[in-house]
Structure 1
């Protein structure tokens, strides 16, 4: 059933990309494939007619030869441009479909699990093989047409000669086992390949260049890359050598068998059991049979590669379907009236058994500003991800005004969020786009973009750009401008201000690259925005920060420790309790004094 689904996916993707071009190309390649054996048959008729002095046979032979030349000419002149265009459209369709499927997965599980990451890497790396699927499909049509024609001609001489293509079919078997072994070597070496790619990125990234040179890590990286590459190539070369030995042995056996068949036909011709035309036909078909079986063998390899690529694509589609949260169809609320509640929430990242959050019970009142504090690894960022519904809790529920967040459409929920993160993305777009994509619907609204830039304290960054908002950012571009870490962060903060009335504003240490004074100004801006959102939509602001001078302005402070909520209260309440918060606050205060 799955094989039929994969084959149908391949066929429909090929023809959906360029239906008319693929139909015409299929007809042309099939016609082109039968011209060589047809012309061979025409030549045998010509010789037969000359030997027996039959004008009709001579004319038929010449007609078949000339007709074959005409078909080949038309197919070559028209066919190749059509096939190239169809292949380009197929490649474009495949890459667009892959992007659509992967970006449509609402959660982050596929980024966290190594086994899923390996398969996704294979899908991406071998996507070009799906892109040539249209060409391989046309090859398959041509091979079928050629095979049927050659078998018919051999059978017309003597049915026993049909055993030769069957013997040649062993080349198909050798190609299959060889490609299977090479594919296994590729899959087994994928972890090393991913690590090599990552190490190469580290070696050439300007952000890591300083530490690499200070600690003298250049040679260490090179040695590690060389070791991994050597292991990868060893596995793949061994598989290729084994396949070469098998294919060479099979071809030798087939050649000897065909030589014996030619001698047998010549002997029969001398005894008057076969005609001169039959001898010529078998002699000329010999290389064509070898080419036919070789073509089938090559097609088996490439068909196998394309089928495996579409198999991974099919797996990705099924994975996306299974992880699409299809039951989450409820609309997001227009406002929050009571608050967001985490009830008995526990969470473990996919592929691990250790709990990051355990038995978390917490209420974030509507209209409140809530600060999450605690040591690194306490579970603060994980809690933020659950609120944004990047994951669903392993146990327990997240409720929004009593409605389970798992029932709300993730896209609808996220359209009501805004966020600023420590690990922000450096979108190498124009400055206008870098900020504007914080609210795609208002991206072209310059007044909204400039207002967000002002609230994000990024006006000085834009003022220093040579073309203002229209400046291309990123040094990868000829006219691109590179920014400092702090400048990138200010633009990321401005992006978070594009949505003016979010139901949930998530701030996970978004000012880590800024000085305390700049951070304080920005949080005052966030506080003002939060108060407006709270009054109009009951919006909740969640702040993660290690600077206690900032978190003290929150309405509610949540102290986390080892994945649990240890204490909840205002700044004054928590100081008076003399617990972990007071200890951490006084420790930081002493450091400032």
Structure 2
């Protein structure tokens, strides 16, 4: 926990040095002002109690001094609040950027496809949002409260030294109990995080547009609402149980503190009646006891909050300083001249999962178009992830012009690769941005964007939109450009096939890529569009290194070579004609598909 505390303080210092120093100065002045004001009040009461013998000038001066100190402390409180908000804002921006940078720096996909990582990520975000600010507040409060405590302890030493000792002794068990309670609450938060994420998931299904059609068609709203309520009840119930236990303990210590204060006050009042202490001493004593108990209680609560926050903040510290999910290479990937070779590649997602690939060996020669065939679950998309170096093989190796991909910089391999993934993204961005992100240096190059859209047969559709290429392709956010032009405030949404063409255009932004991967690029297209795209892709692939994955085997007929995956291994390979002659799995699948287009009446079961 010490490492997390140091990291939190360093983070705050880097994010807002001037503000942090100013807060410490304000805290010191504010902390000293409280006992000074109380002492001036004591002197004023004692002076007034002298009656006619009192020094009027001194009494007025003491009153003005107490008022000045009090008003100054009030102004410092407001200034401190403002500065604190600014420091908090700077820290939040810094934390958010650090968290995003750390996640973005993950080279591979292993963490993103692991639910435990998503629990840790949410805990890291939660801890990062609270720990630095809570830690800073504690540091500042520590300065303020130490000065306040020191001032009032000095005052108590002048009236009743034993009371100061009793207050400190009474605070120790409360402090230890608060630490234990905070650790217990943090452990509950960690334990319930998966349930909390599940509740957020069910809520997003109900409230967001992606699932709205199916939820209404199948009447799923009540089901997901009930599951959301159940998950929320489970997580909040666990937290409530911890809070209930804490309430009993905190109430017990409050009663103890009240008893100590009552006994002390009774003794001091009795002493005043006997004339052994002054009325001013009584007022100072009461103020000191109340302030000391308040200071101790506040510090104990804040120490508890810090303990809880630091326990969660460890996830942030571990995340930004953790081991990489994939050890990146240092050699820049050269232009592809020879080809890509897979040598006895074995892969599974973790040790408890079955093997997806079981010794795949094949070659994608430079300048050739290779088709990849296999039933669902054969490992085709997994192979694509390996070729893009999102994962490394568990056994075997993949070579780029003879160099193991592990030795090459993943970023340079990916820069030389263009891909349309089967599960491509629909970004809530403008049409131009949705295409331009395929090659960031060309994000502002409108001519390139329009050229890619034209090749993907989506240019005409985009030009027909209210704002053309600047139209927001989302109905989740307000399209301010459209609103300003009087075309409404909502963006537009594409059909599945139109989104697929947009994804193809995105990949075509890297028209000079050494290696093209097309994973089911026409699955969402109609027959005309598929035919047009097939013609376009054949032109693009001519003389280029490419891998085309498709369940529509007719789209692979012109491939230089076709590889058939079955059971995690290469079952057969060759040209279309060679595989048809071999009469194996490829021929069976091809004939099965062809039969569905023949003019026959098939009796359905």
TM-score, scaled relative to structure 2: 0.90
Hey, what does 1:10 align to over in structure 2? 8
Residues 122-143 of structure 1 show CA distances to partners (whole Å, capped at 9, x for unaligned) of: 2234543247445454344433
Is 1:496 equivalent to 2:497 in the alignment? no
CA RMSD of aligned residues (A): 2.4
Determine if contact 2:183/2:311 at 8 Å carries over to the other structure. no
Hey, what does 1:522 align to over in structure 2? 533
Residues 141-182 of structure 1 show CA distances to partners (whole Å, capped at 9, x for unaligned) of: 433443343334334444422231331233333332333222
Question: Bigger CA drift: 111-120 or 219-228?
Answer: 219-228
| Mapping for residues 258-407 of structure 1, pairs under 5 Å | 258-268=261-271, 274-319=277-322, 321-323=323-325, 325=327, 328-333=329-334, 335-350=335-350, 352-407=352-407
Hey, what does 1:82 align to over in structure 2? 83
| Mapping for residues 203-214 of structure 1, pairs under 5 Å | 203-214=206-217
Counterparts in 2 of 1:350 and 1:152: CA distance versus 1, 3 Å: farther
Hey, what does 1:455 align to over in structure 2? 455
Determine if contact 2:5/2:310 at 8 Å carries over to the other structure. yes
Task: Measure how far apart 1:66 and its partner are.
Answer: 4.3
Counterparts in 2 of 1:78 and 1:234: CA distance versus 1, 3 Å: closer
Hey, what does 2:601 align to over in structure 1? none
Question: Bigger CA drift: 97-106 or 286-295?
Answer: 286-295
Counterparts in 2 of 1:310 and 1:177: CA distance versus 1, 3 Å: same
Question: Bigger CA drift: 128-137 or 506-515?
Answer: 128-137
CA distance in 2, matches of 1:248, 1:308: 25
CA distance in 2, matches of 1:137, 1:324: 38
Question: Bigger CA drift: 114-123 or 136-145?
Answer: 136-145
Is 1:559 equivalent to 2:564 in the alignment? yes
Determine if contact 2:174/2:253 at 8 Å carries over to the other structure. yes
Residues 373-419 of structure 1 show CA distances to partners (whole Å, capped at 9, x for unaligned) of: 11111111001001101111112211111211112111222122111
Gaps of at least 5 residues in structure 1 are 535-539
**DSSP-derived class of the 1:189 partner:** helix
Residues 214-253 of structure 1 show CA distances to partners (whole Å, capped at 9, x for unaligned) of: 3332222222222222222221111111111110011111
Task: Measure how far apart 1:261 and its partner are.
Answer: 2.2
Number of equivalenced pairs:
582
CA distance in 2, matches of 1:125, 1:549: 51
Determine if contact 1:49/1:58 at 8 Å carries over to the other structure. yes
Determine if contact 1:45/1:60 at 8 Å carries over to the other structure. no
Hey, what does 1:123 align to over in structure 2? 124
**DSSP-derived class of the 2:542 partner:** helix
Question: Bigger CA drift: 148-157 or 388-397?
Answer: 148-157
Task: Measure how far apart 1:323 and its partner are.
Answer: 2.8
| Mapping for residues 54-203 of structure 1, pairs under 5 Å | 62=63, 65-130=66-131, 132-133=133-134, 134-135=136-137, 137-161=139-163, 162-203=165-206
Task: Measure how far apart 1:58 and its partner are.
Answer: 6.0
CA distance in 1, matches of 2:73, 2:397: 68
| Mapping for residues 401-440 of structure 1, pairs under 5 Å | 401-440=401-440
Is 1:550 equivalent to 2:552 in the alignment? no
Task: Measure how far apart 1:553 and its partner are.
Answer: 1.9
Hey, what does 1:581 align to over in structure 2? 586
Task: Measure how far apart 1:587 and its partner are.
Answer: 0.8
1:509 alignment partner, one of 492, 510, 520: 520
CA distance in 2, matches of 1:307, 1:154: 35
Determine if contact 1:129/1:305 at 8 Å carries over to the other structure. no
Hey, what does 2:24 align to over in structure 1? 26
**DSSP-derived class of the 1:371 partner:** strand
Determine if contact 1:420/1:492 at 8 Å carries over to the other structure. yes
Task: Measure how far apart 1:438 and its partner are.
Answer: 0.6
Determine if contact 1:15/1:22 at 8 Å carries over to the other structure. yes
Is 1:248 equivalent to 2:277 in the alignment? no
Question: Bigger CA drift: 513-522 or 91-100?
Answer: 513-522
Determine if contact 1:171/1:251 at 8 Å carries over to the other structure. no
1:38 alignment partner, one of 36, 39, 55: 36
Counterparts in 2 of 1:505 and 1:152: CA distance versus 1, 3 Å: farther
**DSSP-derived class of the 2:327 partner:** coil
**DSSP-derived class of the 1:566 partner:** strand
Gaps of at least 5 residues in structure 2 are 479-488, 599-605
CA distance in 2, matches of 1:107, 1:374: 25
